[in-house]
């Protein structure tokens, strides 16, 4: 599937950490009737994900909300336990960024956004992208080239609003 403005993402079930532990959530339930930011990255605790990508959305979270964004979600090919710890470590949780686990990478593969980099131990991970969705429709999209982290950062997406 091609990620493009005017398109819709396929339905997906993600796992996140809820008040009672891991819980499943549908993408359509998170986006229906709302303006949301959705961004994806290779994984928790990985280099640029922890030092560039996530911090950019922590920094811009309030500015997105000031522009009418109801929620910000990050998708990573990780389990909800790792994502919970990473959210706390990066300040994402405190900034109100929801962390969604695509633990088996099925959603990432459905978008044809997966990549594998054996020399650095990454298998079936997500390429970086950042989207604005309004009622499930993509209204802004920034997709980085594999191995790059520049146009999918918070500031670049915010400039499109």
Beta strands 21-26 and 35-41, pairing class? unpaired
pTM of the model: 0.94
CA–CA dist 1, 8 (Å, integer): 10
Closest C-alpha among 64, 81, 23, 144 to residue 73: 64
Dist CA 103 CA 118 (whole Å): 18
Output the average pLDDT for the chain. 93
What was the pLDDT predicted at 151?
Answer: 95
How far apart are the C-alpha atoms of 143 and 78, rounded to whole Å? 20
The predicted-structure confidence for 81-140, as pLDDT tens digits, reads as follows 999 999 999 999 999 999 999 999 999 999 988 866 666 666 667 889 999 999 999 999
> Which residues are the active-site residues?
49
| Domain 13-158: CATH class, spelled out | alpha beta
User: How is the chain split into domains, by residue range?
Assistant: 13-158
Distance CA 14, CA 24 (A): 6
């Amino acid at each position: 599937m091609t990620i493009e403005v005017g398109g819709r993402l396929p339905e997906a079930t993600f796992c996140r950490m809820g008040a009672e532990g891991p819980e499943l959530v549908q993408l359509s339930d998170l986006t229906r009737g709302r303006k949301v930011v959705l961004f994806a990255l290779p994984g928790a605790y990985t280099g640029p994900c922890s030092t560039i990508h996530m911090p950019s959305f922590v920094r811009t979270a309030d500015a997105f909300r000031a522009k009418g964004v109801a929620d910000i979600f990050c998708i990573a090919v990780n389990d909800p336990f790792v994502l919970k710890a990473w959210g706390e470590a990066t300040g994402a949780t405190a900034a109100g960024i929801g962390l969604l686990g695509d633990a088996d990478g099925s959603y990432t593969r459905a978008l044809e956004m997966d990549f594998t980099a054996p020399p650095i131990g990454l298998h079936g991970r997500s390429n970086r992208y950042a989207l604005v969705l309004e009622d499930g429709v993509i209204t802004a999209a920034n997709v980085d080239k594999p191995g790059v982290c520049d146009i999918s950062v918070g500031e670049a997406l915010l400039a499109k609003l």
